[in-house]
Amino acid sequence: MHFFIGDKEKQLVKRMHDGENAAMKEFYTLYIDYLTGVCARYIDQDDDLKDVLQDGIVKIITRIREFNYRGPGSLQAWATRIVVNQSLSFLKNRQRNGFASLVADVPDEKEIDDPPIRDVPAEVIHQMVRELPEGYRMVFNLFVFENKSHQEIAQLLGIKKDSSASQLHRAKNLLARKIEMYNHSMEPR
């Protein structure tokens, strides 16, 4: 989803580079919902999400002069990358402080076929992803939404490439189970 067509995005970037406050506010108004959604894919607690998002927005605003416009959608991609990195940094820091584990040690479970998702509202799927264990959620989001390879994910998270693949497999299985349960709960009785 791109917010601007053609020169409008380029003009917004120029105005932001010039330090125009109205441009900063316009950026915030246009992108805050999208960037909140990006952040929510990684951060499951609302208070933490607000803090991480705020830090990401501050970083975007303070580093905007480092951004080089590369065509339609490049501003959104750059801002997304900052928010994702801010989210990952927060989670790694929390892990270092002993609050969470990036890689949950859960026994392997039976493979589940992909259930039909066409009747599951997007917000329900989004909530299911937010409910995944932290390690699963990070790997799933990096692989599915950020198009990262298992090698790239391993480097970003400081885990082994095989751990990334295993976490993704387990995340998909857990999501499939949740979707199956949702579909079953929606069946007429």
Residue at a domain's end among 96, 113, 139 = 96
47 within a domain of the structure (yes/no): yes
Nearest CA to 136 among 174, 97, 167? 167
Q: Which of 96, 113, 147 is the last residue of a domain?
A: 96
Are 12 and 91 part of one and the same domain?
Answer: yes
What is the domain extent for residue 134?
A: 122-185
Query: Which residues in the chain show pLDDT less than 50?
Result: 99-100, 104-107
Q: Among 79, 96, 113, which residue terminates a domain?
A: 96
What's this model's pTM, rounded to 2 decimal places? 0.77
Residue 34 has a pLDDT of: 95
Would you say residue 145 lies in a domain?
yes
38, containing H or E segment: helix 21-40
pLDDT confidence of residue 99:
44
